[in-house]
Chain A
């Protein structure tokens, strides 16, 4: 089998390939909690990639969806005693709703203005949640999101004691999301997103309502990031206020760029590279951000396609 056949096979069965890899990933990662972080942040960057990579619209406000997903799930569990499964869906829906509202305001603008408007709106969400102290815990974040055991019927997972069980629990949700995501980008709607990225004017002239399409894509993107946030609330047992901070928005952009924007595997590879590098460099120096920043700069300047994008490009040219 030559190389381009190989990439063709991988692309065709991409959901299975990701699944197979993620099944064994905790045994390759330094420790299980980091592997779970990669799952969650990979999903988060995947959600952003729908608008950033596939549609070509840069959002700097996706922390709002991650954070609202996390707070929605956490608040439902802590303050209202809702079961964790419906709580996750509450988190996703609230994130989707936030995305619909933010999207409706932001899609009037383009390019750098879109990035700035989404950034500003996400900061509004940050301050609203910050000041809802009784529900959100304000500056201290929301604590006590505890999920100790999960009864699967045939067995009970003790997810506090067994990080590996927690990993596979999160993986279950992430896999469903990856499957749905793959269907969406491979659907006719997915080709409309590409058309908008390629040439907005032409897409409009062909008869696509570009603004409506952007808004729908932005909202769907919010749902995926909301799930990532919901899973992070369960993973960490707390929701730090930082999960709404613009730094969190920047993380998704960096991970998508590092892995390869507009590629299917890119966001997960970006999340993996970012979190593992962070993990390694923090053991050596407290100035880890400096080194990560330098690595990021190298990629933006010399490998703008990102890690996975560069590999794909290299293979296709052979």
Chain B
């Protein structure tokens, strides 16, 4: 087994004339919680989209568990073992929480089954219920997703990502728009999830990230500015200058 679960080699991403990522080479340690941070416009979201398969990079390679997966279609990422939660809540709004997760589980097993009655899929429903328990939604199983509170919808989204049993879980600003209480709950959940799988987190909130992550990648103007343990990053002069120091101006 490699030490890295996923890495990018010389990844460049252009949109028309604009270069969002420039020659990004970085690796993500297996089994750890890595956070991608950086000021607004640093290219965090673009990088997230490259890692999660939404954008095939303009140049460079994406290596997952030692295999080159550059250009693999988005829907195959879940089957490879890479799942993501979106920055903007992205669930199946008119379906129940349970059905949301059940459909996500089904994606790995029965994509083209035209005949089995859904009532016979009780095994999938039980597993879906377990995922809802894990993210703290056990009392809302039959609630329509659109009727859940914002924080609950975000948790549901994480359950959807977990349903494909990923070895790598990617979270794009999972606490965006949350109240302080909801944020605390979410942080606990992230730590729990990170205890038995690799997690990559894009996050804006610096304090939150420093407290929970084991590895950090700092982006600035589409390039890697620094990479290392939270303490190294905190003491890195350049990072302090472009990012941490911003608040003091």
User: Which A residues have a C-beta under 8 Å from some C-beta of B?
Assistant: 183-184, 186-192, 194-195, 198-199, 201-210, 213, 216
Contacts and interface: CB of A to CB of B under 8 A. Distances in A.
Interface string B18-41: 000000000000000000000000
Contacts of A195: 92, 95, 103
A27 B91 CA distance: 47
A201 B90 contact: yes
The 7 closest A-B pairs by CB, nearest first: A207-B78, A207-B107, A198-B92, A188-B110, A206-B107, A188-B113, A206-B104
Interface in B91-135: 91-95, 99, 102-104, 106-108, 110-118, 121
Nearest to B105: A206
A186 B117 contact: yes
A191 B102 CA distance: 10
B114 to A, nearest CB: 5
Contacts of B95: 194-195, 198
Given A205-B78, A206-B164, A188 B84 contact: no
Contacts of A189: 110-114
A194 B118 contact: no
Interface of chain B: mostly helix, strand, loop or mixed: loop
Interface stretch (B69-77, B195-203, B230-238): B69-77
Which among B111, B113, B117, B163 has the greatest number of chain A C-beta atoms within 10 A? B111
Contacts of A203: 92, 103, 107
B79 A192 contact: no
B216 interface: no
A183 B110 CA distance: 15
Contacts of B99: 191
Given A207-B75, A207-B79, A199 B91 contact: yes
Interface of B: 52, 73-79, 83-84, 86, 90-95, 99, 102-104, 106-108, 110-118, 121, 160-161, 163-164
B106 A204 contact: no
A213 B106 CA distance: 14
Contacts of B115: 183-184, 187
Contacts of B116: 187-188
A206 B160 contact: yes
Contacts of B121: 188
Contact of B106 (A183, A188, A202, A210): A188
A143 to B, nearest CB: 38
B112 to A, nearest CB: 6
A189 B98 CA distance: 17
Contact of A208 (B52, B75, B93): B75
5 contacts: A188-B106, A188-B121, A204-B74, A205-B78, A207-B107
Contact of A184 (B102, B110, B114): B114
Contacts of A202: 86, 90-92, 160
Contact of B118 (A188, A208, A209): A188
A207 B161 CA distance: 10
A206 B103 contact: yes
A201 B117 contact: no
B118 A205 contact: no
A194 B92 contact: yes
A160 B155 CA distance: 63
Nearest to B161: A205
Contacts of A183: 114-115, 117
B118 A186 contact: yes
Contacts of A192: 103, 106, 111
Contacts of B112: 189, 213, 216
A198 B92 CA distance: 5
A239 to B, nearest CB: 30
A207 B92 contact: no
A206 B106 CA distance: 9
Residue in A191, A201, A206, A210 with the greatest tally of chain B CB atoms within 10 Å: A206
A254 B107 CA distance: 33
Contacts of A186: 117-118
Contacts of A188: 106, 110-111, 113, 116, 118, 121
A106 B121 CA distance: 33
A234 B234 CA distance: 80
A195 B93 CA distance: 9
B247 to A, nearest CB: 34
A209 B73 CA distance: 9
A207 B94 contact: no
B78 A187 contact: no
A69 to B, nearest CB: 20
Nearest to A220: B114
A210 B94 CA distance: 19
B94 A198 contact: yes
B92 A199 contact: yes
B114 A207 contact: no
A104 to B, nearest CB: 17
Contact of B76 (A184, A191, A201, A207): A207
B57 to A, nearest CB: 18
Nearest to A199: B92
Given A192-B111, A202-B86, A207-B164, 4 more contacts: A183-B117, A187-B113, A191-B106, A207-B111
